[in-house]
Amino acid sequence: MLACCNLVVSHHPLLFRGLKTISDLTDVQRTVMKAVQKGICVISMHTNMDNAKGGVNYKMAEKLGLRDVQFLAPKTVNGVESGSGVIGGLPEAQAADDFVLVVKKAFGVECAMCNELLRRPVRKVALCGGAGDFLLDDALKAGADAFITGEMHYHQYFGYEQQIQICVIGHYQSEQYTAEIFRDIIEKECPGVKTIIAETCTNPILYL
């Protein structure tokens, strides 16, 4: 399907560490070698898309149907509004166990790692794709009833019982819809360019 493509746009970059050689030793090296041989360009937008308005976290909020979405930890860079994480409201209050089921369905996950279930309705939700545990206290201060992220350190689950509902769904799973953002931008700004979302799962974690 991708044989006709000469440009790959990705969220996570192919190279997180520099390469001293290019061979068929690892998946990364093989991919680089194939891209060079086939004349395929690779463009990656990682942290800039994480922090952009309409970026990764806004897409997550869209999948959950959150309303009045805004940055959880806003900042301005060169006059441009950006920030880490987002916060918004559910259309209707939900019991914590129902909320977790909604999250699992929205992101297609079989399990979610949660702390003790909240004994009050969930109305306000903060979230951050990927490794967003650094925003947990920001979510609490912002009045969020629940916090969703991709991964969290073990000891951070402690001490928040009945304060906020933690729901961790996996790094890959939390960011899986980012390709839709790139597709929509390209189709809007470059209407003559054909776009295809790759169906290959690159999550290295297996749930057995």
What's phi and psi for 93, nearest 5 deg? -60, 145
pLDDT band, very low/low/confident/very high, at 91 (cuts 50, 70, 90): very high
Residue 65 CA to its chain's centroid (Å): 15
Q: 7-16, 100-109, 190-199: which has the highest mean pLDDT?
A: 100-109
pLDDT in tens, 57-78: 999 999 999 999 999 999 998 9
Q: Is residue 154 pLDDT above 90, yes or no?
A: yes
The DSSP bridge partners found for residue 97 are: none
* pLDDT tens per residue across span 170-179: 999 999 999 9
Query: Distance (Å, rounded) from C-alpha 184 to C-alpha 192?
Result: 13
Whole-number pLDDT of residue 3: 57
Encoded tokens for 67: 């309303």
Query: Going by C-beta distance under 8 Å and a sequence separation of 6 or more, which residues neighbour residue 25?
Result: none
123's enclosing H/E stretch is strand 122-128
How far apart CA 27 and CA 114 sit, in angstroms, is: 33
For residue 173, the number of C-alpha atoms closer than 13 Å in the C-beta half-sphere is 22
Residue 38's closest CA among 15, 10, 6?
6
pTM of the model: 0.91
